[in-house]
Amino acid sequence: MLKKKVVGITQRVDKVESYDEYRDALDQKLVDWVVQSGFIPVPVPNTLIDTTLPDSGQPILDNWLTTVKIDAILLSGGNDIGDIKQRDLTEEYLLSWAEKNRKPVLGICRGMQMIGVYAGSNLIKADGHVGTHHQLQIKNTHGQSLSGLVNSYHHLVLDSCPDKFQILAESEDGKIEAMMHKELPWEGWMWHPEREDQFVKNNQKRFKKLMNNGR
């Protein structure tokens, strides 16, 4: 039996006022989507990052990545960039680690925004992108289909396509909905594939190919 790849999934942070707690949280549907795509999902804790250390080293998180044997990274949605420092730093370090080790990365919604910001783009506000659907305007699929009609739950978008990336699809109003790295097995999607009543096969096929280093 072939060993299934392990996908580390980042988590949003929720403040639970009644318990005075900050909790890492992950939509069970996203876990189910990763499992049904043929991979082993492992949530990445946001508390492994040491905010006092320089960017060049994070021994606790590095040890966790090695021990758990993470093969790929999925940056999930939830929280705006800048709201939760620990999550921002965790995801920035994971991207640095994935870049250094040429690991596959998929960014969903905020996850795509994080990839864009990490690569040098900025975020701007966008109207008409919360609680709706968009018909993708396909620019390039690289041999693997994209879902045509996608959901939308974000109020921020990238102002431009970062260097070393290319646009895969846009919304009807010209906002970037999907992009891919020109050299690394990295992609960003602004929609949530896990939030559809029935998982879209094209999304899962593309995810499988990406997690297998684009093959």
Q: Is residue 79 part of a domain?
A: yes
Q: Is residue 72 part of a domain?
A: yes
Q: Is residue 1 part of a domain?
A: no
Q: Is residue 11 part of a domain?
A: yes
Q: Cβ neighbours of residue 65 under 8 Å, at least 6 residues apart?
A: 8, 97
Question: Rounded to whole angstroms, how far apart are CA atoms 166 and 183?
Answer: 10
Model pLDDT, residue 145: 67
Q: Is residue 137 part of a domain?
A: yes
CB atoms within 10 A of CB 39: 21
Asked if residue 200 lies in contact with residue 206, where contact means CB atoms within 8 angstroms, the answer is no
CATH of the domain at 78: 3.40.50.880
In three-state secondary structure terms, 33 is helix
Q: Is residue 95 part of a domain?
A: yes
Q: Per-residue pLDDT for the chain (215 aa), expressed as one digit of tens each?
A: 568 999 999 999 999 999 999 999 999 999 999 999 999 999 999 999 988 876 667 899 999 999 999 999 999 999 999 999 999 999 999 999 999 999 999 999 999 999 999 999 999 998 888 888 888 888 776 656 676 888 888 889 999 999 999 999 998 888 999 999 999 999 999 999 999 877 888 889 999 999 998 65
User: Which residue is listed with tokens 């370090």?
Assistant: 93
CA triple 184-54-179, angle to 5 deg: 25
Q: What pairs with residue 135 in β-bridges?
A: 149
DSSP letter (8 states) at residue 3 = P
Whole-structure pTM value: 0.93
**Residue 99, both tokens:** 């870049």
Structural domain including 102 reads 6-211
Model pLDDT, residue 143: 55
- What total number of domains does the chain contain? 1
In three-state secondary structure terms, 167 is strand
